Copies of this chain bind each other. A is one copy, B any other.
Amino acid sequence: MNVTLSGRTQHFRTVTYDAAQNFIHLINQRLLPHDFKIVPARDFRETAAAIREMVVRGAGAIGATAAYGLAQGACAFPGDNLKKFSAHVETVFHALKSARPTAVDPVNAMIRVRREMVRGKTVAERQSLALAAAEEFANEDVRHCEAIGRHGGKLIRPGSRILTHCNAGWLAFVDVGTATAPIYAAHAAGKGFHVWCDETRPRSQGATLTAWELAQQKISHQIIADNAAGHLMQRGKVDLVIVGSDRTLGRTGEVTNKIGTYTKAVMAARHRIPFYVAIPLSTIDWNLKSGFDIPIEERSENEVLGAWGRTKGEGKRTKTGQQKSSEQVYVRVANPSSRAYNPGFDVTPPELITGIITPLGIIKPKELWKRRQELGYSS
């Protein structure tokens, strides 16, 4: 999407490949929303470190980064010994996989690149096939998000007030995003509307990333405490809810997403407000038979017990005119001797969901299974 830096507007993807240097360029998401910086990953080990340290985060974005990372590693191999090349590729694969051991996207992306690559008969052929496959993976991610935008954008009317939760924006993908795709499509179509960004405690992705994204596109928005969403619905100030999903059960239509999503869905249903979930097909889980089987990750207590932000004065220019670009500081908010419980996700049942916005169109959650063949189900 477009980003305006010192008055100049330019288009960026979260991850791009620089063939001249065999570098991967990433938006350093650890500095957002306070600073926007592109950092190079100069070899596959730096790429793995960027994934591990969450310089890049979000399902689609880390998938594409791993795909490019595997190609980057392959292209760095000198000589034409195919056997040694294959061993090297496996080293790269495992380095990138172990950067986020529980994430499925990097592995799925790399499996796809490797499958294309092995069609080549020489090292050089395989290097070029790997690059082409990584590029196609990233482009497909963008095309799918754009398709979500075409289908979901129709739900937004001039004057709509849309509630979002967390960040399933372009920063989490290669471009465009999923929950944000309808918003960007409606904005491009010239519809004026307003977005309520749930701050999304404890990690505040709504207040930081989604708000930053919307501000860059000059889309009217305000951040609210998660506690305020129900009140806004009660007072008739929300027309539509759109969220993303980390995992959607193809058999039941249950949606796993950032903690708090279930509560927003219940409140929306009470107030008869349409509640939509935007997803890429890759996040559909065709195996699990019940939402209660989804493991709910328990995250660090520190997320709940405090907050990351910038104190006044930080990030200002220094006396020599240099821009100080510091990461955020952590402040302890809670009572020092108290502990927290921090489930990262919750499960929303299908009866609370108006529709699932997929690249293939809007589907009722309970009809996913019926349409499993066209949605990419493989038994």
Chain A interfacial positions (CB closer than 8 Å to B): 33-34, 196-197, 199-202, 204, 207-208, 211-212, 214-215, 221-232, 234, 258-260, 262-263, 266-267, 270, 296, 303-312, 328-343, 346-347
Contacts and interface: CB of A to CB of B under 8 A. Distances in A.
A225 B343 CA distance: 9
Contacts of A337: 215
B266 A228 contact: no
Given A308-B331, A310-B332, A339 B223 contact: yes
A226 B342 CA distance: 10
A227 B201 contact: yes
Nearest to A261: B227
A149 B311 CA distance: 42
Contacts of A338: 33, 197, 207, 211-212, 214-215, 221-223
A226 B343 CA distance: 11
B346 A231 contact: yes
A223 B334 contact: yes
16 contacts: A33-B335, A199-B304, A201-B226, A202-B225, A208-B333, A211-B338, A222-B341, A223-B305, A225-B260, A227-B258, A227-B346, A230-B260, A231-B296, A231-B346, A266-B266, A266-B267
A222 B339 CA distance: 5
Contacts of A333: 199, 204, 207-208, 307-309
Nearest to A333: B309
Contact of A342 (B197, B225, B258, B262): B225
A363 B226 CA distance: 30
* Most B CB within 10 A of own CB, among A201, A214, A270: A201
Contacts of A340: 222-224
Given A227-B259, A228-B342, 15 more contacts: A33-B336, A201-B201, A214-B338, A225-B303, A226-B226, A227-B263, A228-B260, A231-B259, A234-B347, A266-B266, A307-B333, A309-B331, A311-B331, A312-B330, A312-B332
Contacts of A258: 227
A123 to B, nearest CB: 46
B334 A307 contact: no
* Most B CB within 10 A of own CB, among A230, A234, A263, A310: A263
Contacts of A304: 199, 207, 223-225
Nearest to A259: B227
Contact of A230 (B262, B308, B336): B262
A262 B231 contact: yes
Contacts of A227: 200-202, 226, 258-260, 263, 346
Contacts of A199: 201, 304, 333-334
B223 A33 contact: no
B196 A341 contact: yes
A197 B334 CA distance: 11
A211 B301 CA distance: 14
A183 B312 CA distance: 39
A228 B309 contact: no
A106 to B, nearest CB: 27
A140 to B, nearest CB: 29
Contacts of A224: 304, 340-342
Contacts of A332: 34, 309-312
Contacts of A225: 201-202, 226, 259-260, 303-304, 342
A341 B223 CA distance: 6
